[in-house]
Amino acid sequence: AQKITQTQPGMFVQEKEAVTLDCTYDTSDPSYGLFWYKQPSSGEMIFLIYQGSYDQQNATEGRYSLNFQKARKSANLVISASQLGDSAMYFCAMREGPTGNQFYFGTGTSLTVIP
């Protein structure tokens, strides 16, 4: 089974609107971390937000929030008030394992913000 599944290869959103990027994960490890990264066309990977498996509250970082539903094993990224600069690839990732050395990435979602 895929460790990280992103089912939306491409998404479009109107500027200033909110958008949700889906991510589901698969693990039997009780301790894990979930991350979202942004990759603009220039190539660098930018860390956006982190959610720990034991965290009670959903993570938020500015306009980014993570909708963590543990029972459903989903960790969707919500971007509020989209900006043109948000157009990029977005990758969901998970860190697990006894040493935390296992990182898994989804296939990514390409987000385009329309003016």
Partner 1 sequence: GAVVSQHPSRVICKSGTSVKIECRSLDFQATTMFWYRQFPKQSLMLMATSNEGSKATYEQGVEKDKFLINHASLTLSTLTVTSAHPEDSSFYICSAAGYVPQPQHFGDGTRLSIL
As given in the structure block, the two tokens for residue 75 are: 């960790």
Quick one: 37 or 76, whose CB is closer to partner 1? 37
CA distance 12 to 109: 10
- 100 secondary structure, DSSP code: S
Residue of 1, 28, 44, 85 that binds partner 1 (CB under 8 A): 44
- 16 secondary structure, DSSP code: T
CA distance 23 to 18: 16
Quick one: 49 or 79, whose CB is closer to partner 1? 49
Select from 22-30, 68-76, 78-86, 87-95 the region that touches partner 1 (CB under 8 A). 87-95
Three-state SS at 22: coil
Write the DSSP assignment of 47-70 as a string of letters: EEEEEETT-SS--EETTEEEEEET
Select from 12-20, 47-55, 67-75, 77-85 the region that touches partner 1 (CB under 8 A). 47-55
Tell me the closest approach of the beta carbon of residue 16 to partner 1, in angstroms: 26
Residues contributing to the site for partner 1 (CB under 8 A): 31, 33, 35, 37, 42-47, 50, 52, 91, 93, 95, 99-101, 103, 105-108
